[in-house]
Structure 1
Amino acid sequence: MLYNPEWMTVLQTSFVQRAFIAGILISIAAAAVGYFVITRKSTFATHALAHIGLPGATGAVLLGIPVLWGMGLFAIGGALVIGALGKRASDREVATGSVLAFATALGLYFSNLSSGAAKQMQSILFGSVLTITEDQLIIFALFDVILVALLLIIFRPLLFSSLDENVARAKGLPVTLLGIIFMVMMGSVITVAVPAVGTLLIFALVITPADTAMMITRSPLRAIIATFVICLVSIWGGLLLSTIFDMPPSFVIVTISVVIWLVTKAIAAIRK
């Protein structure tokens, strides 16, 4: 870990400033789905979808089409399959595992066919928030608007079905359809965010801040807002510290997120 005496100058560069803006957009997306990932017990599905998109990315390289298209096709396609097959929480685990196993095998097969596909797999795993472009920021901003608008439309029935699936089903709510819509939302978040932050980082930013927020408050709305704040603090804090001490941003961002989670969990345990 080396101190960077020029860190103030680095912070003023355009690529770092874009990374800070990306942090806001990523935090909005993570907060929008994070609370429901926890309440719906879909953490495994979130982890799986991030990796299900890998064969789409590597396959896109082989076909010479935009990587985002290939990744989106597989991530959203996987979300549809998991949502359709996993009508209940217990069923989703089996469906998720089956789809993940097939996607992983396919991704390895594609990566063996081309060195470019293998390099793309590495890029998707770790991402690079410091290389995000203005065009990507615009796409991400538009996506956030659509995501939040959709969430506002289905918020109440989605919340009801997430908290008590059996009662929601008995009340006549379209639980399966809501599950499919949510899985597509999650797959879309991963598709848009992963090129910037990687599959490993997006999992930590969707799950960890949301779980931390739910230890702080029981209110769904407050938990979503708290998730946004914790996620943003983790990203901005990680970017700042990685600039000052010349460390990989992803490592520092995840570390801050996990430390906040551990401290909150320890405080909650002491208060019991």
Structure 2
Amino acid sequence: MDRLISFEGLSELLAIPFVQHALLACAVLGLVAGVLAPLIVARGMSFAVHGTAELAFTGGAAALLVGVSVGLGAVVAAVIAGAVFGLLGLRQRERDSVIGVVLAFGLGLGVLLLALYSGRASNKFGLLTGSIVAVDSANLALLAVVAVLVLGTLAAIHRPLLFASADPEVAQARGVPVGALSVVFAVLVGLTTALAVPIVGAILVLSVMIAPGAAAARVTASPVVATVLAVVFAEAALLGGTVLSLAPGLPISGYVAALSFAIYLGCRAVARARA
């Protein structure tokens, strides 16, 4: 009987429009993040994702203060951050220092902008931890447009990008535009990170952008299989975290991070068992 009541309660929650919007947004984000995650791991850009998330948080805070769409502000700031990281941090040894400098500036500016905002505290909190209530039809439309743009661009450059990620020196010697691909890929990562910030928050965006790719890399060396697994892992963490967060009414970021971590540990266990 208790199970029936719980099931009925969950069905009622899933029928709420903003919950349906959130689930659709998570499904789209899981697809895009899962496709990008193996390349992010292969290119060693985990810290870049963290830096981009902080800059997306700054853009969202600025948009919140001005009174425009938070999603749009996050996207603009993330694209700028991705371009900066791509242009200034093309060399591996320079990338971390460039990201660290820009990240510190952006995070400090974002905190200042939130302090100047006099609106509801839940809006401030949502930028850091995510909020499914913030996903409305306008944000969902923006998410869909950016997702199509990211996936279309990635499909066009995937083969040379994969070559440049696996062996950049040889790729450059073969005439592959490694520098231009790095900038384009950094912008794609920035766009996707900006989409993740309103849903899971700037603090735990790594659980969506990194963990699925890192988990997939533990169980397969095939780029195609790793991409498929990363998409499945990202979808499971995002959709599962959203559903689990409905009853207690808490931010989904903790649930998404826990599921992503559990999937990663499971893949490590599988890899160890194989070894």
Common topology (TM > 0.5): yes
Letter aligned with residue 56 of structure 2: G
Give the aligned partner of residue 251 of structure 1.
254
Cα 1:262/1:169, change in 2 over 3 Å: same
Give the aligned partner of residue 113 of structure 1.
116
Cα 1:58/1:240, change in 2 over 3 Å: closer
Letter aligned with residue 192 of structure 2: V
| Mapping 1:41-80, distance limit 5 Å | 41-80=44-83
Give the aligned partner of residue 125 of structure 1.
128
Could you list the per-position Cα deviations for residues 86-111 of structure 1 after superposition, in whole angstroms to 9, with x for gaps in the alignment?
11222111111111111122223323
Letter aligned with residue 258 of structure 1: F
Between stretches 232-241 and 155-164, larger displacement belongs to 232-241
Whether the 8 Å CA contact 2:219–2:270 is kept in 1: the answer is: no
Which TM-score applies when normalising by structure 2? 0.89
Between stretches 242-251 and 38-47, larger displacement belongs to 242-251
Cα 1:130/1:213, change in 2 over 3 Å: farther
Percent identity between the two aligned chains? 32
* Equivalent residue in structure 1 for 2:23, among 17, 20, 24: 20
Whether the 8 Å CA contact 1:11–1:17 is kept in 2: the answer is: yes
Q: What is the rounded CA distance, in whole Å, between the counterparts of 1:236 and 1:197 in structure 2?
A: 12
Give how far 1:246 is off.
Answer: 5.8
Whether the 8 Å CA contact 1:209–1:227 is kept in 2: the answer is: yes
* Equivalent residue in structure 2 for 1:195, among 195, 198, 220: 198
Which TM-score applies when normalising by structure 1? 0.90
Q: What is the rounded CA distance, in whole Å, between the counterparts of 1:12 and 1:257 in structure 2?
A: 26
Q: What is the rounded CA distance, in whole Å, between the counterparts of 1:50 and 1:134 in structure 2?
A: 23
Between stretches 261-270 and 121-130, larger displacement belongs to 121-130
Give the aligned partner of residue 209 of structure 2.
206
Q: What is the rounded CA distance, in whole Å, between the counterparts of 2:234 and 2:72 in structure 1?
A: 27
Counterpart check, 1:226 vs 2:229: yes
Letter aligned with residue 206 of structure 2: F
- Over the aligned positions, Cα root-mean-square deviation in angstroms equals 2.2
Give how far 1:172 is off.
Answer: 2.0
Give the aligned partner of residue 176 of structure 1.
179
Counterpart check, 1:90 vs 2:98: no
Whether the 8 Å CA contact 1:126–1:199 is kept in 2: the answer is: yes
Structure 1 stretches lacking a partner, 5+ long: none
Give how far 1:230 is off.
Answer: 0.9
Letter aligned with residue 168 of structure 1: A
Between stretches 170-179 and 52-61, larger displacement belongs to 52-61
Give how far 1:248 is off.
Answer: 4.2
Between stretches 199-208 and 103-112, larger displacement belongs to 103-112
Task: Say how many residue pairs are matched.
Answer: 270
